[in-house]
Amino acid sequence: MNPWISAARPRTLPLALSGLLAGNAMALSACIQAGRIARWDIAGLSILTAVALQVLSNFANDLGDTENGADNLGRIGPQRAVQAGLLTREQMRRGVMVMSAISLILGLFLLFHAFGAFNAGFFSFLLLGIAAIFAALLYTWGKRPYGYAGLGDLSVFLFFGPIAVLGSYALHGLPIGHISVWFAAFAIGFCAVAVLNLNNMRDRENDGLAGKRTIPVRMGQRFAFRYHTLLVGNAVGLFIAMLFPLAALRPWLLLVLLPIYWLMKDLKPVLSVKDPVDFDPFLKKTALKTFFIVVLFSIGLMISR
């Protein structure tokens, strides 16, 4: 595989796109219901921007974890490009700069399409976009990466959940007061943190040696298992709460119950894991099931229209 594609980590994209798909699908459905023009251009540009930000985050994470010692010969999980010698640190620094520029350009293009003028909304979202770029860069890169201080869970929850869902919904010019939008935002945020927690449980011993103070490192594996149960349980409850107020008029939305059940079903085998290597398949499963929940929910909304 091309080292740049490997470093971009395509398997992380479904989870990164889940919040954008949910927010845009709910916004487009609301616009159609209200007789407004559905802005598919905003939906497409917001998704492209999210892809660029995720690739930026992955590049910066690849570089930062190598420079700060978390990526080493003892690490479990997929091979990292810089640590494996597929790309040099200087090459990855250039890659980070290029993806930062691409993310900013796409974000500006999106805001011009959404607002059409330099108004308060434009500048509010511009600040949010700049914050997203810095959050992607500083997660594991730099002298004081916040991911090493145990703040990664909060950042992932906010940017994959509420900011992705509510932000993409609001870009369509809609108020974010609908309760189902909030349920979706928090559910997807909890799922994203669950994936991160699985990653951190897998890497707990190596992260501890590298000074990366994730929640499993700080609180121990037993607490991390309980934390994971709480995250998945909250996500499942919120997905169901999001679903049923809408499903009465849109029966196709009941398709979403199947991947929700699969998401909950994975809890027992996760809690039985003894070897850290065995956490790895559940990262992919949890991310993909979250994505399938959102895709089926979005299709259900569109079919019902």
For residue 200, what pLDDT band results from cuts at 50, 70 and 90? very high
Q: Which residue has the higher pLDDT, 232 or 117?
A: 232
User: Which residues span the domain enclosing 276?
Assistant: 3-304
Quick one: average pLDDT of 299-304?
77
Q: Mean pLDDT, to the nearest integer, of 86-110?
A: 94
Rounded to a whole number of angstroms, the CA Rg of the chain reads 19
Q: Tell whether the torsion through CA atoms of 70, 75, 77 and 82 is positive or negative.
A: positive
Mean pLDDT of 135-155: 88
Instruction: Give the pTM.
Output: 0.93
* Percentage of residues of the chain with pLDDT beyond 70: 93
pLDDT in tens, 160-191: 999 999 999 999 999 998 898 999 999 999 99
Q: Express as a percent the part of the chain with pLDDT over 90.
A: 56
What pLDDT is attached to residue 72? 53
Average pLDDT score over residue span 95-115: 95
CB 204 within 8 A of CB 212: no
Q: Count how many Cα atoms sit within 13 Å of the Cα of residue 51 in the half-sphere of its side chain.
A: 12
Q: What's residue 206's pLDDT? A: 83
Confidence of residue 69 (pLDDT cuts 50, 70, 90): low
* Average pLDDT rounded to a whole number, residues 260-268: 89
The pLDDT of residue 52 is above 80: yes
What pLDDT was estimated at residue 248? 59
CB atoms within 10 A of CB 93: 17
Number of domains in the chain: 1
pLDDT of residue 71: 55
CA distance 94 to 26: 37
Residue 78 has pLDDT above 80, yes or no: no
